[in-house]
A = this chain, B = another copy of it.
């Protein structure tokens, strides 16, 4: 890894993360413990199930329970057993809790404004643009890619989403396509949620196919498609594959652009997939 890049990230972490982070926490905790303030914020205007809070904030159930009791005695929150399942309890903000949260909101705005205030208009625009770029790329970097079995729930979710999108885009019918029979599926997750995937099917000796590649709309533009393609190629190479093939529908123009940019070249049909218009192939480098 290039040393100057690493040094750049470290400088950023030192200056930005610590200084702005400390500011952020200081404003959030107005005479209330930071944990409770965060919790108040996270519950939100519409309330939130306790178990949802637990998983989102990654808190010990005892600890969370105690904090909720604290907010409850402060009159900011009520916890009731609302839904069908009487074990699950839901935390809701009272009027006072909503007011408190609105105050936090105002203070977060004020903090952001105070950062922008000393800058001139051009600097403000540049700062916000650079912040958005950093955020986007850090999110991209937080995406995890792992190899799972085709039947893994995350893989199933990706494949279903893939079918759903094709159905919506060009009237695809899952029953008519060639069954995939995948050797492996790569799942990309963000904060534990599957946001993309790509399947590898070993066909003949040294030949693999990329199938069921999908990227969630929520993470488009982060280069995830390119990354998945590269990782599936790496997985194929690790299994002795020399040539990777794939086919696609003509309406999927972004996918076609991706394949061409990744070094695939169009070849004649190598299968009779009813929905395919283009067939591609790439010889992997040793």
B112 and A13 form a contact (CB under 8 A): yes
Q: Which of A92-100, A126-134, A206-214, A244-252 contacts B (4 or more CB under 8 A)?
A: A126-134
**Are the C-beta atoms of B128 and A130 separated by less than 8 Å?**
no
Q: How far is the CB of A153 from chain B (nearest CB, A)?
A: 23
Given known contacts A17-B16, A109-B10, A118-B227, is B131 in contact with A126 (CB within 8 Å)?
no
Q: Please measure, in the bound complex, the distance between the C-alpha atom of A17 and the C-alpha atom of B138, giving whole angstroms.
A: 11
Q: Is A141 located at the chain interface by the 8 A CB criterion? A: yes
Query: Could you say which residues of chain B place their CB within 8 Å of the CB of A1?
Result: 113, 116-117
Chain A residues 112-127 with CB under 8 Å of chain B are 112-113, 115-120, 123-127
Copies of this protein in the complex: 2
Distance, CA A13 to CA B2, complexed state (A): 27
Chain B residue at minimal CB-CB distance from A139: B15
Tell me if A18 is interfacial: C-beta within 8 Å of chain B: yes
Residues of B within 8 A of A123 (CB): 137, 140, 223
Q: Closest chain B residue to A142 by CB distance?
A: B19
- Min CB distance A44 to B, Å, is 14
Cβ contact of A134, chosen from B24, B116, B134, cutoff 8 A: B134
Residue contact B137 to A9, C-beta cutoff 8 Å: no
Q: Does A64 belong to the interface (CB within 8 Å)?
A: no
Across the interface, do B132 and A12 meet the contact criterion of CB distance under 8 Å?
yes
